[in-house]
A and B are shown apart, each in its own frame.
Chain A
Amino acid sequence: MEKELAKSLFKVAEYVYKIWEKIPRTKILNQEITINVPESIVVYNLAVSIPSSFRSIRSPIEISAPSIIRLSASSLHPFPRTVREATREVVYPGGHKTYALFPEFLPPECDLISLTTSYQIDDPSLLDDLVDREKGHEPSGAERNEYWMHAQLKHPKVLHDFGFGRFDLNDVDVTVDVGVHNELKATLPPPFISRLKTFFSVMAERDPRRQHLALPKLRQLAKEKTAGREFKILVDLEGLFMPGTFSKYVEVFKDFRYSDCYKGKECYELPIEIIPKKVNVISRADLTLEKPAAQGTLIYKNNLLIEAIRDIISSSGS
């Protein structure tokens, strides 16, 4: 498992390393790796000292692997700057694509370069192979509105043994299911629901005789303060669970940070589009070899959500 993991992660990095190892009089000084989890992209960075004769190499150094999506070179001395003209994406007749570094385009004073190769990993299980992720399924804490989150490296040795000067695993996600059902139950006033029910039963009635009998109910409904405004209330309630709004009701602390949210559905339940029973909140943390474990707390500000629901109902005069 560990060998496969290393192969899947570092195959391209090793290939790039070996290319540089073979170039005479260059010296690899450092290698750093960053894995951006959401995009499944590995960014491999090599710092290499180069001799003054390096610029006289006329043939480009080709780096070619299907998963490579970007190659860039920077001159680190006398000050760091990207040398855009030194790297090119080249497509040969027949469609074969390669990335190339042109030594002659490097600045004359440059004796230290950094080469960054970005490549894609197409292995959906990779994160689970690398990281153990857990979360609290029920709220805890004194106010019962906190969810714990945790992420830790499973095999730091695999990463350590490669001798990277730096290894970063960025934006490891943990999705917490924030239950919102208790707030809805506590806040939606039964008369509001009862009006909706009456409205529904009257509207659904097809029998003309019964329709006639339902008229008093309709008259009664028309007298209600919120008559005709129920749908506005529903739309406003739905708005509370849109990502932009719901994010105000959660706060993420410690090693994790808030990333996104979406309306969730209970297992084996049809989605209820208007009002969800839970909202899935995605939080992210970074792991490194120096800090291989991350912990965080998501606080669901349920009191603010209750206030917001009450505001919607009361501003409509219910």
Chain B
Amino acid sequence: MTFLNDKALERLRCSEGADFSGTRYKLREFIARGGMAVVYAAEDEKLSRRVALKVLDAPDANGELTSRLMREARILAQLEHPGIVPVHDVGVLPGGRVFYTMKFVEGLRLDRYIMQVDSLPQRLRLFLRVCDAVAFAHARGVLHRDLKPANIMVGSFGEVLVMDWGLGKILREHSLSRDETFVSSGQKAKSESDSTQFTVITGHGTVMGTPGYMAPEQARGETERIDVRSDIFSLGALLRFIVIGGAQGKSAAQPRPLSAICAKATAESPNARYTHVSELAADVSLYLDGLPVSAYAENFLERLRRFYKRHEVAILLIGAYLIMRALVLLFFHR
């Protein structure tokens, strides 16, 4: 029987018939498979570095998949942001298959990483960084359309990267060439125009996305109704996962203001959701700072409790001082 060495084994596991011999890349190992393409870890021999390489998993007869992959690469190339995985190179193989390479992110997917993070504020800060990246993409006129924990990577240095822009959609109102300033979370994104004005350039009326994270209008295939609020729905579902899912086996308690934020972001009607990612991020930031959030009208007791939590040390100090003062007064008036 033929003995297969380790190289042959890896090749058989990841070889898809793509001939990389004429390129500067050598496939090292299989990473993942998407709907149309496969991602490998590869070695860039020119620069001696590891890259992630995405290539169509089969020759493309009518060119539709090729143009989708090229569009994805172009979207990524334009979205230069620390929270979005950068694209390095794009090319065509001798067989006609398109591929592109991007930064190889060593780390964990958010759904796995979040299990290791006990602190809710720390988990929420991760979420805010996802919001930063998505807000930036929206400001550039790009929707992600497939935001979910599996598409977020947390690198070994804690960097958060939004991956897989394969379902990304370009909105007409904001061309990719426009130079718009990145707006960090917690600020109003001035460059974001009214989301309802966005119209869709691409779209086939087909349902693309992930159940549970896909907005209702997206699930119904109503491509003309998909806008930034569809991504906001996904972010709301992601926030719920981060707050509840990440707390599996630890604590199932969900603070009411956060529940309200999730509920508003994932409202059935797009009109009932936040209109910009920055608004959603601002609410989460307010919660983190112990301030009232726009999505939740708190009662007097809750306001009092929040006030106490926010100023706990000062209140305790003042209380201790008053008690001491009272004791001193009592002692001298006896």
A and B part of one assembly: no
Q: Which residues of B contact A (CB under 8 A)?
A: none
Q: Which residues of A contact B (CB under 8 A)?
A: none
